[in-house]
Structure 1
């Protein structure tokens, strides 16, 4: 488990762009984290104000940040996770204020310091977004 203070020691992101609130489980090659989606988030002011939906690009960013947590958990400070690519992205359901968004990331492959990861986001155990991500680590 990891709380927000520990997350902020690893990731360089800050409000309003830190999209991971906590980590439920973390192993060498897998992480499960979450975000509590709140109506107070600034994107809901303009992303369909009468029917607020979390933008898909922010769900992908939350998955990428979770991948960064997994890959950087044992690295020294000043390292930065770099989002290098995305394949097979699919958006299956809406994410709305009040939802608890669960991020699941698993390493598929590592080659020359670049990682390919299987990424899924769920709400109430139903997949809302899936993708394959590529992430690298810039060491400081």
Structure 2
């Protein structure tokens, strides 16, 4: 795998523009992944309600956290050609809105991994302010022995 950040992201997730929500990877290590999302004011995906400032919808935050989890799981598999699907969301809590102009820090941590299933703790912050946290269950389908 190339050292270029976009090659790491493109090699780790099937998402592409406009649904690729990870802008850079800070860390991928054993059981922990950290990434950033720059929330731009001109993104087509931002919600706008009346005169309220544009914000990132919570459903897209969940998708972004899932993409960090996928990057982490594929890194653990050595970049194997596999696809991870969201199997469930447990106890997801949203603390505050994500306004345009924010730098969203995201983290995924593997809590338990079975053969083709993983339980992941996910968290997001803007600076030191918590934005969301919860748990995801992902299931794998790939090419090889895990299929």
- Pairwise same-fold verdict (TM > 0.5): yes
Deviations 1:60-118 (A, max 9, x none): 110000000000121323x2121111010111011011101011111111123200011
Q: Give the one of 83, 86, 98 matched to 1:83.
A: 86
SS of match in other structure, 2:100: coil
* Aligned residue number for residue 126 of structure 2: 123
Q: Give the one of 104, 110, 125 matched to 1:107.
A: 110
SS of match in other structure, 1:4: helix
* Aligned residue number for residue 47 of structure 1: 48
Deviations 1:105-139 (A, max 9, x none): 11111123200011001101211011100112211
Structure 1 segments, 4+ long, off by >2 Å, are 46-50
Contact 1:20 1:35 in 2 (8 A): yes
Instruction: State the Cα distance separating 1:8 from its structure 2 match.
Output: 0.9
SS of match in other structure, 2:107: strand
The whole-number CA distance in structure 1 between the counterparts of 2:141 and 2:96 is: 33
Structure 2 length as normaliser, TM-score? 0.87
Instruction: State the Cα distance separating 1:3 from its structure 2 match.
Output: 1.4
* Aligned residue number for residue 57 of structure 1: 59
The count of residues paired between Structure 1 and Structure 2 equals: 138
Query: Which stretches in structure 2 are left out of the alignment for 5+ residues?
Result: none
The whole-number CA distance in structure 2 between the counterparts of 1:71 and 1:49 is: 40
Distance 1:103 1:14, change over 3 A: same
Q: Give the one of 31, 53, 60 matched to 1:29.
A: 31
Instruction: State the Cα distance separating 1:49 from its structure 2 match.
Output: 6.1
* RMSD, matched Cα: 1.6
* Aligned residue number for residue 97 of structure 2: 94
The whole-number CA distance in structure 1 between the counterparts of 2:112 and 2:89 is: 14
Deviations 1:30-79 (A, max 9, x none): 011110011121122x53263211100100110000000000121323x2
